[in-house]
Structure 1
Amino acid sequence: MPTTAGRTEGRALDPTQQVGGITASQPTRTLTAACLNHALHDGYTDLIYVMLPVWQAEFGLGYVALALVRSLYVGALAGLQMPAAVLARALGTRSVLVLGTVLSAGGYALAGASGGLIGLCTALALAGAGSSTQHPLASAVIARAYGRGARGPLGTYNFAGDLGKAALPPLAGLLLTAADWRSVLCLVAGLGLVVAIGVAGLLPREPGARDAMKARAQASPRGDGAVPHRAGFGLLVAIGMLDNAARPAFLIYLPFLLVEKGAALSTVGIAFALVAVGGALGKAAFGRLGERFGVTRSVILTEAGTAAAILVVIVLPLGPALVVLPGLGLMLNGTSSVLYGTVPDLAPGGRVERAFAIFYTCTLGGSAVAAPLLYGPLGDAVGPSWAAAAAAATALAVVPLMLALAPRLAAPRPA
């Protein structure tokens, strides 16, 4: 009916309606499955940071090698997101999400069973390939389930990822005090299989291609037919790449900074939980603050705050440094929340789904490349403290790009 889109805008659909083949009785299940999956995969990603000191001691690795080990996971995660979307069109989103989660769990199981560095690297690449499925596909399935009311549920989905970051790394750090790292990774793999079963049971089947196209049109936040500037989107991607490079550039060295201050591995896990809790608050807070105070002010605030907090953590002793970490996490993730909300405004040709795929691929890919090629050698050359300071400088480099982007940003949409 011609009035359907108007009645559904800003909320879930009427129980008798469908978006992309998903009835209104299914959105809650869809969101629950996506959040559960996101929490697992983001927890898997940050788990690597806790394992880095263990692998350094086990295999005698330098910082360049450690950065490369992490980049095998993140590189596979970033580089295979667009192929995962293509595969989903052939096999269905639910099937690819479940298979991706099983592959990630299998990668961690293989890492736990590996007898050497080559086996570990292969396993992490497989785990990263499995995790490549969840960002673009879960976002798309939420958009289909909620239509134009998807902005809030997508925020909940992003928040769930930080809950995984806050839970899984400290759990692994605690388990490492009682078991060897290989056993811990096998337990983590078992958790992934449980989540895969849950996703398979909760997530609806993939709709047909025609329904999916209709859903994308209904889910698009732009209804005026405007075509944003490609130059603006390019600047936004560059800002996202710098922001995403600064985050792992610091987090790679955080466990070593804490160990130098006298922290045990269990304390390192707690430290990452503190960062993740602050990051979750940052995503929740700055998404709204970006709308209220503007993208430019919010991004400059978060990047300057990130740089300042990194420098404070470097110089403080262990106890006070731990106190600062939630605030650091808030600033680290606050920027990403603002940037994600700006992607639809600057999507070339109004193609929001493709713009998100490009944005995720470039920002995560830049992170995977920068860590081993830039910050890894720097850590070997000057030590973790100065390498972490370089991460602070990277965050500050966003400020001039943000000032260049500001004139290209459209006026804020009415609330």
Structure 2
Amino acid sequence: MNTQTRLPVIPSGTPAKASRSLSAACLTHALHDGYTDALYVFLPVWQAQFGLSYAGLAVIRALYSGTMGGLQIPADRALRNWSPRAALMLSTALALAGLLLMALPLGMIGLCAGLVLAGIGSSIQHPRSSMLVTETYGANSRRPLGIYNFSGDLGKALLPALVAVLLPVIDWQAVMVLMAALGILLIMALARLAPSTPMQAQRAATRAPGRAQDGRGFAILATVGALDTATRMGYLLFLPFLIQGRGGDSPTIGVALALLFIGGAFGKFTFGWLGERIGVVRCVMLAECATALLIAATLVTPLLPTLLLLPVLGIVLNGTSSVLYGTVPELSKGDTGRAFAVFYTCVIGSGGIAPILFGAIADLSSRATALLLTVLTALAVVPLVSTLRPYLQTSPTSR
């Protein structure tokens, strides 16, 4: 191997500092992703309180996800010279302030404004946390990025389950306040764990080695990520109502989401390992085919079999993201921070728009029709990802 193209394993300092940086990124990712997916548990409550349709619920949630996705690139650009500590603390402070605003007795206006403010906060987290991991581990960042993505699924599994347990006991505004309190704890942890100085000195070292890319490979990767996210978010929009329609109550909905996300967390490890052995393209194709099959199965199974299928569905539904995120530095054309911001813009933007479209289709036809369209979206990834092969490095683990 040409040693001149190799990057240092930990360009930012000692293994202890690298571990603290990774912990800071993982804790931030876990809480912010927990915030994001806990919103699904509130959907039936908001539908009953505000009289919203499926499309209306999707629009309400898109205020959060659309803001979070649309501001990825501006947030990366504006905070590029900030220290990771300052950027992640600001991100969390804005997110918890949004939750507190939602908890105030301001009706629909307060709910919408709070979702936008929380979305602004979370828009900072993704590119800054991902870049912190990439800058810390250099060329060896694929596996730490997998750990980072796994931490997000832990948050997705734990916080929605906690919210589902609390909602039957206290009102939803009080639950929002408790979620905000977790953000305060995170800020205290970040003050000790996250680096306090900008990492600009290492930015040049994170440029991906190898041949220059013309941008088409990255465009394909971003489109694959967008379709993969559209499938996931479309299914998540209807899952609470799918469970509710089969006799499940609020705690059961929380259990269903937790089972799905626990499977997703396991999927990050499974597909991270699988991607290294069979390649990115084969791994994604396998996952999308299995996703389509399992989503279709949950349309016809009773409540208990559906719950049993959800962890398996979670493995393939969420597992691909670890493979896709780990490929971003390889196709980044050198500016990894901007590449992550663009990639997150695409996938989060898709996650905001797709549920609106699926929700409108459900309102005009049926929930089953909309869910079948999520199946077709997953299958559409298969021929698209096959065109990614020429743009990946020549190692078999990339393909």
TM-score, normalised via structure 1 length: 0.90
Of the three residues 260, 268, 275, the one matched with 1:283 is 268
Aligned partner of 2:301 in structure 1 is 316
Aligned partner of 1:381 in structure 2 is 364
> What is the CA–CA distance in structure 2 between the aligned matches of 1:78 and 1:375, rounded to whole Å?
18
2:133 equivalent to 1:133: no
2:56 equivalent to 1:73: no
Aligned partner of 1:180 in structure 2 is 171
Of the three residues 402, 405, 411, the one matched with 2:385 is 402
Matched-pair contact (CA < 8 Å) for 1:228–1:350:
no
2:46 equivalent to 1:55: yes
> What is the CA–CA distance in structure 2 between the aligned matches of 1:114 and 1:403, rounded to whole Å?
51
CA-CA distance at 1:397 after TM superposition: 1.0
> What is the CA–CA distance in structure 2 between the aligned matches of 1:182 and 1:406, rounded to whole Å?
48
**In structure 1, the residue corresponding to 2:287 is in which secondary structure?**
helix
Matched-pair contact (CA < 8 Å) for 2:81–2:198:
no
Matched-pair contact (CA < 8 Å) for 2:20–2:193:
yes
2:117 equivalent to 1:117: no
CA-CA distance at 1:413 after TM superposition: 6.3
Unaligned residue ranges in structure 2 (runs of 5+) = none
Of the three residues 336, 344, 353, the one matched with 1:360 is 344
CA-CA distance at 1:150 after TM superposition: 2.7
Of the three residues 238, 242, 259, the one matched with 2:244 is 259
AA of the residue aligned to 1:394: T
Q: What do residues 334-378 of structure 1 show as CA deviations (whole Å, max 9, x unaligned)?
A: 22222222223333x343332222111112112212222x11211
> What is the CA–CA distance in structure 2 between the aligned matches of 1:414 and 1:265, rounded to whole Å?
43
Matched-pair contact (CA < 8 Å) for 1:43–1:167:
yes
Matched-pair contact (CA < 8 Å) for 1:24–1:145:
no
2:159 equivalent to 1:171: no
Of the three residues 21, 32, 53, the one matched with 1:30 is 21
Matched-pair contact (CA < 8 Å) for 2:229–2:351:
yes
2:355 equivalent to 1:371: yes
> What is the CA–CA distance in structure 2 between the aligned matches of 1:315 and 1:184, rounded to whole Å?
33
CA-CA distance at 1:90 after TM superposition: 4.6
Name which of structure 1's ranges 22-31 and 357-366 shifts more when overlaid on structure 2.
22-31
> What is the CA–CA distance in structure 1 between the aligned matches of 2:87 and 2:235, rounded to whole Å?
32
Relative to structure 1, the CA distance from residue 145 to residue 196 in structure 2 (aligned partners, 3 Å threshold; closer, same or farther) is same
> What is the CA–CA distance in structure 2 between the aligned matches of 1:199 and 1:244, rounded to whole Å?
29
CA-CA distance at 1:208 after TM superposition: 6.0
AA of the residue aligned to 1:218: A
Aligned partner of 2:152 in structure 1 is 161
> What is the CA–CA distance in structure 1 between the aligned matches of 2:186 and 2:272, rounded to whole Å?
28
> What is the CA–CA distance in structure 2 between the aligned matches of 1:274 and 1:330, rounded to whole Å?
10
Aligned partner of 1:41 in structure 2 is 32
Aligned partner of 2:282 in structure 1 is 297
Q: What do residues 285-329 of structure 1 show as CA deviations (whole Å, max 9, x unaligned)?
A: 112212211222211111111111111111100000000001111
AA of the residue aligned to 1:100: S
Relative to structure 1, the CA distance from residue 413 to residue 407 in structure 2 (aligned partners, 3 Å threshold; closer, same or farther) is closer
Q: What do residues 146-178 of structure 1 show as CA deviations (whole Å, max 9, x unaligned)?
A: 333333222211111100001000000000121
2:316 equivalent to 1:325: no
AA of the residue aligned to 1:146: Y
AA of the residue aligned to 2:161: P
CA-CA distance at 1:239 after TM superposition: 1.2
Matched-pair contact (CA < 8 Å) for 2:5–2:209:
no
> What is the CA–CA distance in structure 2 between the aligned matches of 1:196 and 1:413, rounded to whole Å?
41
**In structure 1, the residue corresponding to 2:80 is in which secondary structure?**
helix
Matched-pair contact (CA < 8 Å) for 1:63–1:379:
yes
**In structure 1, the residue corresponding to 2:169 is in which secondary structure?**
coil
> What is the CA–CA distance in structure 2 between the aligned matches of 1:314 and 1:97, rounded to whole Å?
40
Matched-pair contact (CA < 8 Å) for 1:291–1:412:
no
Relative to structure 1, the CA distance from residue 248 to residue 111 in structure 2 (aligned partners, 3 Å threshold; closer, same or farther) is same
Matched-pair contact (CA < 8 Å) for 1:36–1:195:
yes
Within 5 Å, give how 1:156-235 maps onto structure 2. 156-207=147-198, 209=200, 211=201, 215-220=202-207, 222-224=208-210, 226-235=211-220
Matched-pair contact (CA < 8 Å) for 2:146–2:326:
no
CA-CA distance at 1:27 after TM superposition: 1.4
Matched-pair contact (CA < 8 Å) for 2:275–2:323:
yes
> What is the CA–CA distance in structure 1 between the aligned matches of 2:14 and 2:75, rounded to whole Å?
25
AA of the residue aligned to 1:223: P
Q: Could you say what the CA RMSD is over the residues aligned between the two structures, in angstroms? A: 2.0
> What is the CA–CA distance in structure 1 between the aligned matches of 2:326 and 2:224, rounded to whole Å?
14
AA of the residue aligned to 1:367: G
Q: What do residues 217-246 of structure 1 show as CA deviations (whole Å, max 9, x unaligned)?
A: 3334x333x112422221221111111111
> What is the CA–CA distance in structure 1 between the aligned matches of 2:60 and 2:346, rounded to whole Å?
19
AA of the residue aligned to 1:84: A
Q: What do residues 364-406 of structure 1 show as CA deviations (whole Å, max 9, x unaligned)?
A: 112212222x112111112322211211111111112123333
Identity of aligned residues (%): 47
Matched-pair contact (CA < 8 Å) for 2:76–2:338:
no
Aligned partner of 2:88 in structure 1 is 97
Unaligned residue ranges in structure 1 (runs of 5+) = 13-18
TM-score, normalised via structure 2 length: 0.94
**In structure 1, the residue corresponding to 2:135 is in which secondary structure?**
helix
